[in-house]
Structure 1
């Protein structure tokens, strides 16, 4: 191990029941540097990271595995416990799931210190206060006594980082620590990782988001199918990629890509209709002074916007800004306290469901987790037949041509018809969700975080698909996302929400180039960019 290398890995392989997950990879994590391990789901990134903690759960072999000067090959569980937390630690992806909801966060952090060293209880409490303060936790003494559900998203993320730092490790692994976070929380995590680097720690950043990687990494290793296919300094890998897979990942990043420009290789094929199909008539959707409170909390406050036919309106804002509550009122799933929604020039909300039934098929929805919105008893074919028949039948016999047409529209094979949605990949499930939403031929689709859980290349194909469908059908999209790069690429106009209000809206290019509100400027400044 060289003087600067905190971790040295040579020819690491990991297999599960004889099936290889990681194949002969080599890497080094150095003091004061960030190594980014990038690739899509199933590429072996997390298995590699867990192997460095003795937690792979598989069969591990390596020519060398040295952690902070110690040979880690063949260590038993007790020896690994002394390494974890002291020499190397991990910031997990989901703070709400990773933190124990039944214990105060201070006690959870302190309990992790019991296995390391001989700190007394007062010393452990002092260390908890120190690490919470170091990550910028407001009122650390108070927050240490609270449980994770009592904390905001930002506070939970800070507590998770503090937990990883409590043992003062030399190496910190951040495993998809920003996935599904809004731009402000993402900026928080990235700033904390930068501080670790400045303190001289080694950081292994695992991510599929190359825009964030470009913001922080010194070195990059690209994984695919358990192998490192390209590695080198960040500037070299990002600006002069040598492997086709790396180039594919870079092309798929929506940041800075103009409206309707393809993000995937499949999307590069010229569409049958190059210009969006515009339909005359009143706006596809109008919201007028929508308000909704829960108790004394105003979740949405006098929100108004207009969605033209054949266009996309993007709604952005941090978690808790009121985006999803607005979407639920627009869809008629939640009754507004005040205000109205007009669909195709006719009143839609707050009418009773029976009164708006004639318009119901004109509006569809696509959600972040399609699997959670599918009835698990139904096959792909039954789900589409149900949507085409308006819930009257699950039999595909009378809808064979229509079902085949829907699958063709979203680029899925009819061979998937008998399968359960659980047997599909994430990208296939999201395409199925789009096909189901398109079945009644709606004029408006409400898309609530439709790609936030997808890998970057799968996200690219889904976004290209949505673009093509809009060009061909003239469907209007209300596109809700915390991902500003996706909103910038997909939207004609943007509405920015903060604390239940729309504080700024207008043409996308103008908002992103010259935001007028301080909050909008803050959001955009926190947005990692690749281009």
Structure 2
């Protein structure tokens, strides 16, 4: 018996004011199967997905657009409204943005049922509880009364999935539904998408993460610049890619790639890695007994670690584990309730800011969203001149040679020096953030989720850049991330945080191959792997 075709797309094109975003693509999606649209930002994945809901916002043309047995080419707004949530629905990326913080999640889910059913108010309430229970929401009747801000990250994601399932659609689109989630939340979402497949629904998975795609997809279509450049069964595309772009995406996945091995074919060759490790390398940074509470909530509880010079310590844990609070105390941005931080053998915390000033240049920071840390009044060159002069001048000419050296070190084109940071791509902004942090020649860099918002190939070039800088300068990295594959690739040693404590730490190979703590084992078992 052949599978029922739920989605048929032939020669789909979408343009915005005459500019094409999707160019003449075709694919089908059958019941009980997962089709992954893979590609980087701007490749046309989300525009394609939104076209299947009548929400592209552009001019749509196709020779065939079939959705659950209906010809959608002639749909007006009313016809699109009738199938959205009923025949086809979407799980969005950001639960905090997608859910109204002023309304209980149960009411949001119930409102979607009014359009498509004749259920009474009490029946809609019962359906809300049923669908929340189906996604394994703990205490569904209680959670239905709560707002999204009162729920944990995992509960919010469950609520989004429940909202998409309330109308019992045949097709579910998951648009980057796991981006920026830690490994356990990612595993939760992937398992629930698999359940939808097992129920006979069709799932269209939109992602740039090939490790997750390998975990779930039956078929893959690779998109680049609005076109499908390669498509086929998942095993064929992942194991025997035919297109150079597909091979580039696969190479960029850090999972299982040894330390100091280049992830990007476009990166400059890395210097030779150190042949030997000195067991008595001097410490660049050490933390002893760091604790911090907010009211009655203990955020960080007696955290201690050591970071040798020229090495990388990865700190990993799920959202809310205390990673960022630890980083802020290390940077002297938050005063610990107890404990100390030593930088290059001298006390850095707790001291006054004036006492820290003599050591301040020895510690830099790189964050997830660099744009928020740049003064929008300054150009790229002015930001670098400001960092080089320790805030004394924004005149690029005063530091022309040093600015050029920084720009070359991070492979940022000199043509961009007069640009505003807002004009840069995500990868270029992160290179600028790295250059600014390197300006004072720090001994330690604290990197807090520095690549989690980047596409996989851009992430690869940034990770290669960080490797090269460390090999050339001997800078030590405190690398904080929820992404286990990045931590595995970048770190010499790893500390695992859970509920404010470091529950396990050791060299990377030992932690990833022979974890001792049950929580660490759970984290690693939830980690999607490509290799």
Q: TM-score range by the shorter chain?
A: over 0.9
Quote the Cα distance in structure 1 between the aligned partners of 2:184 and 2:275.
Answer: 33
For normalisation by structure 1, the TM-score amounts to: 0.98
Describe the superposition over 1:78-135 as per-residue Cα deviations: whole angstroms up to 9, x where unpaired. 1100000000000000001100000000000001111112111011001000000000
Query: Mapping of 1:69-148 within 5 angstroms?
Result: 69-148=69-148
Quote the Cα distance in structure 1 between the aligned partners of 2:490 and 2:378.
Answer: 32
Quote the Cα distance in structure 2 between the aligned partners of 1:346 and 1:266.
Answer: 40
Q: Which residue of the partner structure matches residue 311 of structure 1?
A: 311
Q: CA deviation at 1:274?
A: 3.8
Q: Secondary structure of the residue that 1:411 maps to in structure 2?
A: coil
Contiguous gaps of at least 5 residues in structure 1: none
Matched pairs, number: 529
Q: Which residue of the partner structure matches residue 234 of structure 1?
A: 234
Q: Secondary structure of the residue that 1:266 maps to in structure 2?
A: coil
Q: CA deviation at 1:335?
A: 0.1
Quote the Cα distance in structure 1 between the aligned partners of 2:510 and 2:285.
Answer: 22
Query: Mapping of 1:265-344 within 5 angstroms?
Result: 265-267=265-267, 269-275=268-274, 282-344=282-344
Q: Which residue of the partner structure matches residue 371 of structure 1?
A: 371
Q: Is the contact between residue 270 and residue 467 of structure 2 (CA under 8 Å) also seen in structure 1? A: no
Q: Is the contact between residue 278 and residue 474 of structure 1 (CA under 8 Å) also seen in structure 2? A: no
Pair 1:494–1:227, CA change in 2 (3 A): same
Q: Which residue of the partner structure matches residue 62 of structure 1?
A: 62
Q: Does 1:403 align with 2:403?
A: yes
Pair 1:3–1:238, CA change in 2 (3 A): closer
Q: Secondary structure of the residue that 2:309 maps to in structure 1?
A: coil
Q: CA deviation at 1:415?
A: 1.3
Describe the superposition over 1:1-45 as per-residue Cα deviations: whole angstroms up to 9, x where unpaired. x85210100000000000000001001111000000000000000
Quote the Cα distance in structure 1 between the aligned partners of 2:159 and 2:498.
Answer: 24
Quote the Cα distance in structure 2 between the aligned partners of 1:272 and 1:184.
Answer: 35
Query: Mapping of 1:10-29 within 5 angstroms?
Result: 10-29=10-29
Q: Which residue of the partner structure matches residue 192 of structure 1?
A: 192
Contiguous gaps of at least 5 residues in structure 2: none
Quote the Cα distance in structure 2 between the aligned partners of 1:355 and 1:106.
Answer: 53
Q: Is the contact between residue 170 and residue 201 of structure 1 (CA under 8 Å) also seen in structure 2? A: yes
- When structure 1 is superposed on structure 2, of 159-168 and 274-283 the one drifting more is 274-283
Backbone CA RMSD of aligned residues: 1.2
Q: Is the contact between residue 104 and residue 148 of structure 1 (CA under 8 Å) also seen in structure 2? A: yes
Q: Does 1:204 align with 2:204?
A: yes
Quote the Cα distance in structure 1 between the aligned partners of 2:147 and 2:270.
Answer: 52
Q: Is the contact between residue 384 and residue 436 of structure 1 (CA under 8 Å) also seen in structure 2? A: yes
Describe the superposition over 1:458-504 as per-residue Cα deviations: whole angstroms up to 9, x where unpaired. 00000000000000000000000000000000000000000000000
Q: Which residue of the partner structure matches residue 480 of structure 2?
A: 480
Quote the Cα distance in structure 2 between the aligned partners of 1:278 and 1:447.
Answer: 23
Q: CA deviation at 1:398?
A: 1.2
Q: Secondary structure of the residue that 2:283 maps to in structure 1?
A: coil
Query: Mapping of 1:27-38 within 5 angstroms?
Result: 27-38=27-38
Q: Is the contact between residue 262 and residue 269 of structure 2 (CA under 8 Å) also seen in structure 1? A: no
Q: Secondary structure of the residue that 1:220 maps to in structure 2?
A: strand
Q: Does 1:420 align with 2:420?
A: yes
Q: Which residue of the partner structure matches residue 518 of structure 1?
A: 518
Q: Is the contact between residue 105 and residue 145 of structure 2 (CA under 8 Å) also seen in structure 1? A: yes
Q: Is the contact between residue 65 and residue 73 of structure 2 (CA under 8 Å) also seen in structure 1? A: yes
Q: Is the contact between residue 131 and residue 166 of structure 2 (CA under 8 Å) also seen in structure 1? A: yes
Q: Which residue of the partner structure matches residue 462 of structure 2?
A: 462
Pair 1:475–1:415, CA change in 2 (3 A): same
